[in-house]
């Protein structure tokens, strides 16, 4: 990745709480990753899609380990956290055609017992991530808001089953993070975000999430 491209990331990230970086990973590697996702699903037919990223087999899968250790991804995380990094969590995030649920508005840091909260999330698009198949939505600038308590939600079906107090969310300011395969979005643990369900009858939305912390956390 070019130095000039890296230098543009930090100001945008600090201003908006997220940034999109285009063409980080080659398309042929993303095509191979798409095949790997479906092969993984076939090998674990009894595991729900939203639980798949918690499975321990990732720790010994050679393809997966090469995928998450790409230097250009680490370079992105270093723009937010500095050079001393550790992996906090990672996994495939899967939205199947016409059957996935929405993710209601939340802040990632509300789920994590990290101190200090020096963490960033890299969201690598394996397939297209667009409005019609449930791309991520972000409220820019909300990374300056304190972390909010989560509220159980029984009024609306959702993947997580909870959300932050939505009276604090100005949905009119939401930005759709539309990505092509190989693009990366990076977001702050406090920024408000969510996603709608996958409305496409045929298209999967496949992403790789990599959550990185400063080694001092």
Report residue 136 as tokens.
């991520």
Question: Higher confidence at residue 203 or residue 102?
Answer: 203
pLDDT of residue 211: 96
Supply angle C-alpha 147, 94, 8, rounded to 5.
55
Q: What's the chain's average pLDDT?
A: 91
pLDDT of residue 3: 60
Q: What is the DSSP letter of 210?
A: E
* % of residues, the chain, pLDDT over 90: 76
pLDDT of residue 27: 97
Report residue 210 as tokens.
């990599």
pLDDT tens for residues 109-122? 999 999 999 999 99
Across the range 91-106, mean pLDDT stands at: 89
pTM exceeds 0.85: yes
Across the range 33-62, mean pLDDT stands at: 83
Report residue 33 as tokens.
């990753």
Across the range 32-45, mean pLDDT stands at: 92
Is the pLDDT confidence value at 49 over 90?
Answer: no
- Residue 151, CA distances (Å) to 72, 104, 180, 182, 198 in order: 37, 11, 33, 34, 23
């Amino acid at each position: 990745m070019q130095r000039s491209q890296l230098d543009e990331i930090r100001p945008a990230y600090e201003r908006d709480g997220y940034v999109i970086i285009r063409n980080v990973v080659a398309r042929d590697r993303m095509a191979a990753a798409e095949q790997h996702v479906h092969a993984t699903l076939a090998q674990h037919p009894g595991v729900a899609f939203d639980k798949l990223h918690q499975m321990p087999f990732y720790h010994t899968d050679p393809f997966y380990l090469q995928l998450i250790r790409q230097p250009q991804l680490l370079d992105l995380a270093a723009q937010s956290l500095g050079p001393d990094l550790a992996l906090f969590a990672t996994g495939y995030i899967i939205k199947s055609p016409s059957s996935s649920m929405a993710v209601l508005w939340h802040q990632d840091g509300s789920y994590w017992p990290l101190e200090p909260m020096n963490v960033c999330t890299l969201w690598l698009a394996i397939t297209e991530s667009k409005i019609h198949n449930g791309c991520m939505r972000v409220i820019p600038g909300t990374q300056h808001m304190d972390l909010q308590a989560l509220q159980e939600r029984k009024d609306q079906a959702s993947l997580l089953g909870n959300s932050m107090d939505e009276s604090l969310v100005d949905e009119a300011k939401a930005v759709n993070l539309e990505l092509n395969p190989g693009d990366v979005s990076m977001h702050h643990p406090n920024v408000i975000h969510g996603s709608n369900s996958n409305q496409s009858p045929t298209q999967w939305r496949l992403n790789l999430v990599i959550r990185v912390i400063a080694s001092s956390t």
